[in-house]
Structure 1
Amino acid sequence: MSRLLVDADAIRALAEILTETGLTEIEIAEKDSRVRVVRAAPAATHAVAAPAPVAPVAPVVAAPAVPAAPADLSKHPGAVTSPMVGVAYLTPDPSSPPFVTEGQQVTAGQTLMLIEAMKTFNQIKAPRAGTLTKILVPSGEPVEYGEVLAIIE
Structure 2
Amino acid sequence: MTQTSHGDDVAFIRALAELLRDNDLTELEVKRDYGEDSKLNVRVTRTPPAVVQAPAVSAPVPAVAPAAAPQAASASGGGDAAPAAEDPSSHPGVVPSPMVGTVYLQPEPGTDPFVRVGSKVSKGQTILIVEAMKTMNQIAAPHDGTVTRVLVEDGSPVEYGAPLVIIE
What band does the TM-score fall into relative to the shorter chain?
0.5 to 0.7
CA RMSD in angstroms, aligned pairs only? 3.0
Structure 2 segments unaligned to the other structure (5+ residues) = 7-24, 30-40, 46-59, 61-77
Task: Please give the TM-score of this superposition, normalised by the length of structure 2.
Answer: 0.53
| CA distance 1:120–1:88, shift in 2 (3 Å) | same
User: Residue by residue, what CA displacement relative to the aligned partner does 1:48-90 show, whole Å, maximum 9, x if unpaired?
Assistant: xxxxxxxxxxxxxxx9xx8842522212110000000000000
1:133 aligns with 2:148: yes
1:34: how far off?
3.0
- Aligned equivalents of 1:26, 1:98: Cα separation in 2: 30
Counterpart in 1 of 2:164? Answer: 149
1:100 to 115, 123, 128: 115
**Amino acid aligned to 1:115:** V
Q: Provide the identity percentage.
A: 52
1:75 aligns with 2:84: no
- Aligned equivalents of 1:137, 1:120: Cα separation in 2: 19
**1:44-63 alignment, distance < 5 Å:** none
**Amino acid aligned to 2:83:** A
Per chain length, whose mean CA-contact separation is higher, i.e. which structure has more relative contact order (CA < 8 Å, sep 6+)? 1
SS of the residue corresponding to residue 109 of structure 1 reads: coil
Which structure shows the bigger proportion of residues in helix conformation? Answer: 2
Counterpart in 2 of 1:120? Answer: 135
Task: Please give the TM-score of this superposition, normalised by the length of structure 1.
Answer: 0.58
Structure 1 segments unaligned to the other structure (5+ residues) = 3-24, 37-62
**Amino acid aligned to 2:114:** F
1:27: how far off?
5.5
